[in-house]
Structure 1
Amino acid sequence: MLRLLAGSLPLGVPASTIVLNWCCRLGLALLQRPLPRRDDWIFVIDETVGLGALKCLVVLGIPVARLAETGYSPRHCDMTVRAVEMTVTSTGVWVAAVLEQVSARTGVPVQIVADHGSDVREGIVLFRQQAPSWVETYDISRAIAAHLKAHGRDDGHWQAFLKQAGATLSHFQQTDLAFLLPPRQRTKARDMAMDAHVDWAQRLIGYHDQGDCSSIVLPCVFTANAWAQLHTARGKRRVEPLRALIGTHYDTRAVLCEALRAASATALDELDDTFWRLADRGYARLLQAFAWVLPYRARLPEWTQTIAMSKTIQTVLKTRGLSRATPTVVLAQLVEQGPLAAPVAELQTRVLQHLEHGAAKLPAGATWLASSDLIESVFGHYKAFTARGPLKEAGRFVLLIPAFLCELTVPVIREAMASVRTIDVERRVHTHFGPSMLARRLRALRPDMKTASTFLGVPMGN
């Protein structure tokens, strides 16, 4: 916005508060813009919360006619904001009322895509009583995540893996092994963060198998125990010449092996894992923290299949949309991946049944939206912006959400600045949001000057 206005600012860069005020005026102007009535709107809805009691409901819209040109994966600029509403008492009745108000202005949608949040779900059910002709679609990402969560809950090996990964992260995060730790587990991560954890396990096992632990920056040492192990395994005649090397440090395994070959009267066979546990301090340190990962080697192919199945289904639906033909298209893609482990095949069957149920709701020949990921992206953008504030509440800056979805140009900004004043923003905030948490905090915790002066030892003047 500032880049667009740079040539029109005679006094240089304005204060940050002025810029934020402009942004709120822009967002409110975009939110209030009249939109044409249509009979092919698709609504994408969701709620977000911040610190405090307020909840924010956002309704986005896109005409069916525009879906194909977006590749059934709309960008921010392809959507229009239908509503940004705030409440401290979010209920299904309130969500239904918002949907009714939006529909009265611009037309009843043909499809609503949402997750199964309790208030949103109840609101959709109530709204259907007023306008029963439209189709509800459960966001495919959330649907698959719900199936994966149930699948993982029944997989004792996966649960044990996550538990050990969490314990390892907690125990070694302030140590020399921090660079090898598993990803942090997020309580709300979709797909149980399965992809990141399985990838980490595969990479860690690969690091173990390559036999070079020099990144841990601990030397190889030909210890007395290592010599004794060779003595027992290979015999005195072959190993006795190596006694002189006991206690010597080497930077890598390769350097140690070269020293052993040079000192031995006869060639040594390949050194086994038992020897390296005694002679490679980096390897011993690796096993101290991550030996528990190695037995999961046999489970990784099954978990990898689960991830591939999930990604294949989501990719098809997010790039080709949802239609009655979608289950057949998805199944053809899945068959190409080859036979599945029995638990993965069962999971795939359940997901396909869900997909068939959702696709059957659509009219013949229609290809509509399958995912509400876009609104999650909008919320993520909003939260990243407000993270810089002193309190992470849902407040006046939700007015920026329409601006996130708009392609800003000088004419758009000029029209917004001409149509919405600062007082209009303040009235909107007062009516819909009330005083901000920061304002209430400053008012409530304002220091009493007499008490503060006494505490600091400064006597009050007459």
Structure 2
Amino acid sequence: MVAAFGHQYSVQTVQKAIQQSIDSGSSLRGVENNLKWEASAEEVKTPCFSSVRSWLGRIGLYELQRAKEYRSDWVFIIDLTVELGKQKCLVVLGVSQQYLESEVFPSKRGLKHHDVQVLALEIMDSTRGELIEQKLCELTTKVGCPVQIIADHGSDIEKGIKLYIQKYPDVVYTYDVTHAMALLLKHELANSEKYQSFIQKCNQCRHQLQQTELAFISPPSQRSQCRYFNVEKLINWAEKLLKCPIETLLKLAETSDPDIFNQKLIMKFGWLKDYQEDIRIWSQMVMMTRALEIQLKQNGINQESLAEFQLKNNSTFLDITFPQNIWLYIKTEIEQIPKDKTFLAASDIIESIFGKYKHFSSRCPLKQIGQMILSICLCTMNLTTSVVKQALENVRYIDLKDWSSQVFGQSMLSKRKIVFSTLDNDAEFV
């Protein structure tokens, strides 16, 4: 067992606790109970959940503050995450173009968490474009000027990147393909009265069937946010249900009266036939956007991307305007890319890491950005024994506490406890 100077528990115990939390998604108390159960036969002392939380913060802070390599071929992946309160968190992930060309593109895969590094994590009260530009310039002095920045077209981020590129005109700004395709679908479908009535019918149908024998074929639930990232769920459901033989449904429903069951199907799903032709068009739109996403995520984007996409997607389309919008997106992006170069086209990796962070933050009493934001750094780390030992010996608990106090100030939960634990019950709110 390896020991870290000044620590009661072995480095392997800390390493196991962190990996259970980050890789398996276990809660802090869940990690505490897992370690107790594993050590029960040996009757040794195990860490409590607060120790695990401290280790998470300290190792995450170590990774955030660790000096990153100065390079001329960084690719910056940028986004903002938001919780309760006025603060937002600007995250900049980095991966080198050399690594993409040698490891990622030849494997025809997307980025994994351990492929990237957290180059910057900034808690900001305001995310105006000028402030985003300032943070990018500060980062450039530390790690070097990137060859590419990839992000969505959020107004603050887009403005900040464009201001930054005025100072560094050789940097390529790529619009993330996932967001671009979702926006194209949104422009087509949000303004379509037929599609809006379709999703309303789906909602009504779902509520009507929840407690009935037809619940197993009810429409899937719809997301309140980012719904155009998941359009295919509803469309695939409608397509498959329209094609499903009535005999299959009768067997699954186990009804004793086929005629009555058939009448119920017509009553509850007969409206789908009014949308049959539209569903076919919507399905083509979704298939075309997903085909481009798969192509660019696996192969990257280069001068041949448009020709490759047109060659593989040359089937007759019911509405020529939509594919032309996709071609325009590809053409706009590849015009910036040098010949014989392949660049990254998707920022999905940062969304994935944000998803993991939100899994942790959802357990907090109030969803405010706080110390758990450092779990973003942990997601990208290769947690070897030597790295964990070095982190524990270089970042103390007092360092973590000072950083949290300086960055976040007094937490919302702390303020709430003060308000609701007042002893003066006779005081009046003015």
What amino acid maps onto 2:277 in structure 1? Answer: A
When the two structures are aligned, how many residues end up with a matched partner?
390
- Partners in 1 of 2:274 and 2:262 — Cα distance? 17
Tell me the secondary structure at the aligned position of residue 230 of structure 2: helix
Question: CA 1:209 to 1:217, structure 2 compared with 1: closer, same or farther past 3 Å?
Answer: closer
Tell me the secondary structure at the aligned position of residue 313 of structure 2: helix
Aligned pairs for 1:283-362 (under 5 A) are: 283-335=262-314, 338-341=315-318, 343=319, 345-362=320-337
Tell me the secondary structure at the aligned position of residue 96 of structure 1: helix
CA shift, 1:200, in A, is 0.8
Partner in structure 1 of residue 73 of structure 2:
40
CA shift, 1:66, in A, is 0.6
Q: 2:209 aligns with which of 168, 172, 186?
A: 172
Matched, 1:53 2:86: yes
Q: Would you say the 8 A contact 2:14–2:55 is kept in 1?
A: no
Tell me the secondary structure at the aligned position of residue 291 of structure 1: helix
CA shift, 1:447, in A, is 4.3
CA shift, 1:298, in A, is 3.0
Matched, 1:31 2:6: no
Tell me the secondary structure at the aligned position of residue 299 of structure 1: helix
What amino acid maps onto 1:96 in structure 2? Answer: E
- Partners in 2 of 1:426 and 1:286 — Cα distance? 61
What amino acid maps onto 2:165 in structure 1? Answer: R
Question: CA 1:405 to 1:436, structure 2 compared with 1: closer, same or farther past 3 Å?
Answer: same
- Partners in 2 of 1:436 and 1:27 — Cα distance? 19
- Partners in 2 of 1:432 and 1:329 — Cα distance? 48
Tell me the secondary structure at the aligned position of residue 213 of structure 1: helix
Give RMSD over aligned pairs: 2.3
Q: What are structure 2's unaligned runs of at least 5 residues?
A: 1-11, 18-34
* More displaced 10-residue stretch of structure 1: 355-364 or 197-206: 197-206
Matched, 1:81 2:56: no
Tell me the secondary structure at the aligned position of residue 407 of structure 1: coil
Aligned pairs for 1:408-419 (under 5 A) are: 408-419=383-394
Aligned pairs for 1:13-412 (under 5 A) are: 13-68=46-101, 69-71=103-105, 73-189=110-226, 191=228, 193-207=230-244, 209-210=246-247, 212-216=249-253, 218-220=255-257, 253=258, 280-335=259-314, 338-341=315-318, 343=319, 345-412=320-387
Q: Would you say the 8 A contact 1:51–1:394 is kept in 2?
A: yes
Question: CA 1:417 to 1:211, structure 2 compared with 1: closer, same or farther past 3 Å?
Answer: closer
Q: TM-score, normalised by structure 1?
A: 0.79
Q: What are structure 1's unaligned runs of at least 5 residues?
A: 221-252, 254-279, 453-462
Question: CA 1:173 to 1:324, structure 2 compared with 1: closer, same or farther past 3 Å?
Answer: same
Q: Would you say the 8 A contact 1:5–1:410 is kept in 2?
A: no
Q: Deviations over 1:1-39 (max 9, x none)?
A: 8574579x9953311121011001011101111112110
- Partners in 1 of 2:325 and 2:117 — Cα distance? 34
Query: Percent identity among equivalent residues?
Result: 32
Tell me the secondary structure at the aligned position of residue 100 of structure 1: helix
Question: CA 1:450 to 1:348, structure 2 compared with 1: closer, same or farther past 3 Å?
Answer: closer
- Partners in 2 of 1:206 and 1:3 — Cα distance? 54
What amino acid maps onto 1:317 in structure 2? Answer: L
Q: Would you say the 8 A contact 1:214–1:282 is kept in 2?
A: no
Q: TM-score, normalised by structure 2?
A: 0.85
| Structure with greater Cα Rg | 1
CA shift, 1:176, in A, is 4.2
Q: Would you say the 8 A contact 1:142–1:190 is kept in 2?
A: no
Q: Would you say the 8 A contact 2:302–2:337 is kept in 1?
A: yes
